[in-house]
Amino acid sequence: MICADLAALAAGLPREGAILGLDLGERTIGLALSDRRRRVATPLSTIRRTRFGADAAALLEIVRGRGAVALILGLPLNMDGSEGPRAQATRAFARNLDRLGAPPVAFWDERLSTVAAERALIAADTSRKRRAEVIDHVAAAYILQGALDRLMHMEAGPAEDGS
């Protein structure tokens, strides 16, 4: 099932269970995983893309092995918020994955996630070689953490102002 937004995803989720975040690139898929209570995203791994069937099989194996109950796909919007060819390709990937029985999928705006991941790795004094190895799954963690924060905010409900 492809959800229209995070609220629709949240409505159908079990109380606990990990969520897998994906940073879908042309050559790689960065993966991050939340804890079972969905509070913290942790970079997991990177899948080297070959063809959809192999990519999907590898991804679904990780979903099963980690017990993921949902997927968050980074949606690469243009800076003006419009959708270009990469966003359309991401939506097509989600549709094809859904046909294979993937858990529910929702999208999260991924603008500047790779830039934020790169800056964090540079701040941590990570070598250029190591940054190239981990950037995709660190970006996936940024995407997933944004969605987790939003889900936690939705779960908390409106704040009371005490008046």
Is the residue at 161 inside a domain?
no
Q: State the pLDDT at residue 163.
A: 42
What is the domain-level CATH number for residue 124? 3.30.420.140
Number of domains in the chain: 1
For residue 25, give the nearest of 126, 117, 120, 100 by alpha carbon: 117
Is the residue at 162 inside a domain?
no
Is the residue at 163 inside a domain?
no
pLDDT in tens, the chain (163 residues): 898 888 889 988 998 999 999 999 889 999 999 999 999 999 999 999 999 999 999 999 999 999 999 999 999 877 787 888 889 999 999 999 999 999 999 999 887 666 666 666 566 666 666 555 556 777 889 899 999 999 988 877 665 544 4
Q: What is the pTM of this model?
A: 0.82
Is the residue at 1 inside a domain?
no
Is the residue at 90 inside a domain?
yes
- Residue 31 phi/psi, 5° resolution? -125, 140
